[in-house]
Chain A
Amino acid sequence: MLAMLAKLLKILNSDASPGQISLGFAFALFIGLTPFFSLHNLFIFLLVCLIRVNLGGFFFASAIFALLAFLLDPVSIAIGEQLLAHPDLQAVWTGMYQSDVWRAFKFNHTLLLGSVVLSCVLFIPVWIVFSILIKLYRSKLMAWFEKLKIVKFLKASKFYQAYERLGA
C-alpha cells in the first residue's frame, strides 16, 4: 500500500504533463479491465509505446484497474451479454463472426466485449477528469500536500529513498 502511494506521489510530482499521465491512466483501463491475454491488448501496448504517455502512470493505473476489474466483471459480462444478444446487432456480429481475424479478437466473448466497451466509454472521461484533477492537484494541493506530516514521513522513509534512488 505504501509502495503504491509512493509511486502515485512520484508520478504526480514528476515533470510529466497531466495529459500524458492521464492518457496513461486511460490506456490502463484496457489492460486492467479486459482479459490480459487478448489480441487488442497487443495494440494497446503498441500505442502506449508509440504515443508519449507516462509509462509509470500507465502501469500504476493498470494494477489499480486490474483490482477494480474484480468488482466490474459482472457489469462487463452483463454489457457483453446485452450487446451480443441484441437483435439489431445480430447481423453485425454474424458478419464479424465469419472472419478469423475478428474472431481472434474474441469479440463474441461476453466479458471481453463488455469490458472493452466499458473501457472505451470510460476512456475519454478518465483522460479528461484525471487531467483536470492532476492540474488541480499540482496548482492547489501539491504544496499543501507536501507539508502534510504523513507525506513527510513517507518521503523520509527508507523505502521512498530507495525508490527515489532507483529512479522509479
Chain B
Amino acid sequence: MTKWIRWSGLAGFIIVSALIVCFWLFAAGPLTKLAIESFGSRALGAKVDVADVSFGLNPMTITVSGVQLTDKDKPMENIVSFETAVANIEPFPLLLGKAIIPQLSLEGVATGTPRSESGAIKKTNKKQTEKSSSAHSKPAANDTSAEPKSQTLPSADEILERESLLTEQAGDAFEKAYESHSQNIEQSLANLPTEDSIKQYEVQLNKLLTGKFKNLEDFKQRKRELDALRNQFKQDKQAIADAKQAIAQGKSDMKEKFNALKAAPKQDLNNIKSKYTLDGAGASNLTALLFGEDAGGYAQTTLEYYEKVRPLLVDEATQAAKAELKAKRLEGRYVQFETDRPQPDFWVKTLTFTMSLPQVGQPAQSLGDVAVNVLDITHQQDVINRPTLVKGKGVNLRNIDSLTINGVLDHRTSPGKDSFTLEVQNWQLNKVKLGLAGLRMDNSVTDVSAKGVLIDGQLSASGQARFNQATFSSKDRTMLAKEMVAALKTIDTFVVNGRAKGPLTDPSMSINSDLDKQLNSAFDQRIAQKQQELENKIKAKLNDKLMSYAGDYQAQLKSLNLTEGNLASKGDALEKLGKQELSSYQDQLKAEAKAKADAEKARAKAKAKADAERKRKELERKAKEKLKDLF
C-alpha cells in the first residue's frame, strides 16, 4: 500500500497551497484596492480613492480604510467618505464568486468633505477646476452673496427673464411675417411698369393710332406693333394684379399677427399672475415664499444622493442583461432549490454606520448623529426574497427629542417600489432664517412627519411640519417686514404641508400651510399693493417689448396703403390706354366703312338724280311732241 503513497507529492501540494495562501494574504490587499478603485471609479464616473485594504483569515474579514468617493459634479468634493469599513465575508460563497457580507461597519462617515486633489476622471477644464476650487475656498463669500437673492421676491425683470413669453413668440412671428411679406411685395413691385414706361406706352400708342394707313402693309405693321403693345399691357396688368394680391395678403396676415402681438402682453400678464399667484388672495403662497427655498434645497439634495446611491443598490438593467446573456450561453446553468440560505452574487446583510446631522442653515454645526442600519443590500432581491431596509435613528441629539428614518427599497418585482418615512419630534429650531423680508424664526418646537414613495421613477411624497411656540423677528425696516412681524406675533402654532409629485428628476413641488390663512387678512392690502406694482412693471416691460416688435407698424401700413393706391392709379392708366387703343382702331375702321358707304350712296344718289332728270327730260320731250301732234 505504501508504494502507492507519494509523500513528496503531498509535501509539494502543501507547499504550493501555502504559497497561494501567502500570495493571497500579501497581494490580495493591493489587488483588491486596485479593483475597488478601478471598478468603483468606472461605476461612479469619478475617482474612488482607497488608502488601504487588508484581509484577515479567521474569521475572514476585509478592512478597507480611507475611502473617498468623489462627487462627479464637484471634483473637489466627496459625495461620501469614511475612515474604515470592516466587512466579515463568508468564505465558501466566495469560492463561487459570491460576496456574502453578514456585517459591514463603517466608521467616520461624512458627506461633502473637501478633497486635496481633483477627483475628476477625465481632464477637466482648468477654469472649471479653479471655479470649483474657489467656490470651495470661499464658502462664506458665496453664502452672503446668495443670501439676498433668497430674501427678495423676484423682480419684474427676473420674472420676464425666466418666463417663456407669448409676446416674444408673437413678436418673432410678426417680424418673420413682415420680412417675408416685404420681400414678396418688393419682388412684385419690381415687376411693375414705371411712370416713364407708361408715358412711353402713350407715345407709342399715339404714333400707331394717328395718321391714315398708307397701304395694307402699313396697316399690318401697325397691327403687329399694336398687338405687341397689347401683350405688354396684359403682362403689366397681371404684374399689378399680383402686386395688389401680395400687398393684400401681407396686410391681412400682418394685421392678424399684429392683433396677436397686441393681445400677447395681456395673456403673458395673466399667465405670470396665475403662476406667481399674485392674483386673488396674494398671501396664499406665502408659505412657499417663506419656506420654499429651503424645503426645495433639502429635497433636491436628498434626491441627488438617492439618484447616486440607487444604481449601486438596485441594478435592474444589469440583472436583465445578465439573465439574457445566461439564456444564450451553452455552459450549463445553476438550478436553484428552496433554501433559507439564499446566495445572491453580492449581499451585505447588515450595514451599520453613524453620520453627523448638520444643523439647518448652519451646515458646519451638528445637531447630533444618526445611526443608520441598512439590511439586505443586494442587487438581486429576488434571490433573497427580501427588500432592502433602511433604519436611521438619532443618537446624542441636541435640540431634538427623537429622529427616525425608515426606508424600504423593494425591487423583487418590476417596477420596484422605494418608500421612506421620516419622523422628528420636538425639534427646537432656533434662529432659522426665512426666505422673505429678512425674517427669522427665533424659536419653535417642531414636529416633522413625512413619507415618500417612488415607483417606476415617479415620486409621490408628502410631509407635514407642525411649528409650536413659534416666535419671529426681522432686521429689515421695510413696511412688509414690520407688518409681517406684527402679524406673526399673534401666531403661536402653525402647520406647513409639503408635497412632491412627478418624475424623480423633475418633481412638481408645493408647500401650503394654515399660516397662509392666519396671515391672509393681515397681508391682503400689502400684497395687493405689491401685486399692482409688479403688474404695472410687468405691463410696462411687456409693452416695451410689444413696441420693439411692432415699432412703426402704422407707418409701414401707411406705406403699403400708398403703394396700393399707386398701383390702382397705374392700373387705371393702363386700362385707359388699352381701351383708347381699342376704340380708336374701331373708329377708324368704322369711319373708313362709313366714308365708303357715303361715297357709294352719293354716287347712287347722283346716278338716280341723273336718271330722273333724263327721264323727266324724256317725258318733257314726249309731252312736247304729243302737244305738237295735237296742234
Contact = CB atoms under 8 A, between A and B. Distances in A.
A51 B4 contact: yes
Contacts of B90: 100
A111 B336 contact: no
Contact of A103 (B5, B6, B343): B343
Interface of B (DSSP majority class): loop
Nearest to A20: B4
A74 B330 contact: yes
Interface of B: 3-6, 9-10, 12-13, 90, 92-93, 95-96, 330-341, 343
A113 to B, nearest CB: 9
Given A51-B9, A84-B335, A106-B334, 9 more contacts: A49-B9, A50-B10, A76-B332, A80-B332, A85-B335, A90-B337, A104-B96, A108-B336, A109-B335
B330 A49 contact: no
A103 B12 CA distance: 28
A30 to B, nearest CB: 16
Contact of A49 (B13, B333, B337, B340): B13
30 contacts: A39-B95, A45-B13, A46-B10, A46-B13, A49-B13, A50-B5, A50-B13, A51-B6, A52-B3, A52-B5, A52-B9, A73-B332, A74-B330, A76-B332, A77-B332, A80-B332, A84-B335, A93-B335, A93-B337, A97-B337, A97-B339, A98-B340, A98-B341, A103-B96, A103-B343, A104-B96, A108-B337, A110-B333, A110-B335, A114-B332
Nearest to B337: A97
Nearest to B100: A100
Given A74-B330, A110-B332, A110-B333, A103 B13 contact: no
B322 to A, nearest CB: 16
A103 B92 contact: yes
Contact of B92 (A46, A73, A84, A101): A101
A31 interface: no
A134 interface: no
A100 B333 contact: no
Contacts of B334: 106, 108-110
Given A51-B5, A103-B96, A104-B96, A109 B332 contact: yes
A83 B92 CA distance: 24
Contacts of A101: 92
Nearest to A96: B337
Interface of A (DSSP majority class): helix
A72 to B, nearest CB: 12
A50 B4 CA distance: 8
B338 A103 contact: no
B332 A50 contact: no
B332 A100 contact: no
B470 to A, nearest CB: 58
Contacts of B10: 46, 49-50
Interface in A106-124: 106, 108-112, 114
A94 interface: yes
For chain A, the bracket of interface size reads 20 to 34
Contacts of B343: 103
A137 B10 CA distance: 31
Interface in A100-155: 100-101, 103-104, 106, 108-112, 114
B3 A94 contact: no
A98 B333 CA distance: 18
Contacts of A39: 95
A103 B335 CA distance: 11
Interface in A54-91: 73-74, 76-77, 80, 84-85, 90
Interface centre among A45, A50, A51, A112 (most CB of B within 10 A): A50
Contact of A50 (B9, B96, B339, B340): B9
B330 A77 contact: yes
A28 B332 CA distance: 21
A19 B92 CA distance: 36
A85 B333 CA distance: 12
A100 B341 contact: yes
A111 B336 CA distance: 14
Contacts of A90: 337
Nearest to A46: B13
B92 to A, nearest CB: 4
A112 B90 CA distance: 22
Nearest to A48: B9
The 6 closest A-B pairs by CB, nearest first: A111-B332, A49-B9, A100-B92, A97-B337, A49-B13, A104-B92
A6 B95 CA distance: 38
A46 B340 CA distance: 33
A90 B4 CA distance: 38
Contacts of B4: 51-52
Interface string A6-41: 000000000000000000000000000000000100
Contacts of A104: 92-93, 95-96
Interface centre among B4, B10, B343 (most CB of A within 10 A): B4
A58 B337 CA distance: 36
Contacts of B339: 94, 97-98
A39 B10 CA distance: 18
Contacts of B338: 94, 97
Nearest to B333: A110
A98 B342 CA distance: 9
Contacts of B3: 52
Nearest to B97: A37
Contacts of A51: 4-6, 9
Contacts of A114: 332
B338 to A, nearest CB: 6
Contacts of A46: 10, 13
Interface centre among B5, B330, B337, B341 (most CB of A within 10 A): B337
A106 B96 contact: yes
A64 to B, nearest CB: 21
A159 B96 CA distance: 42
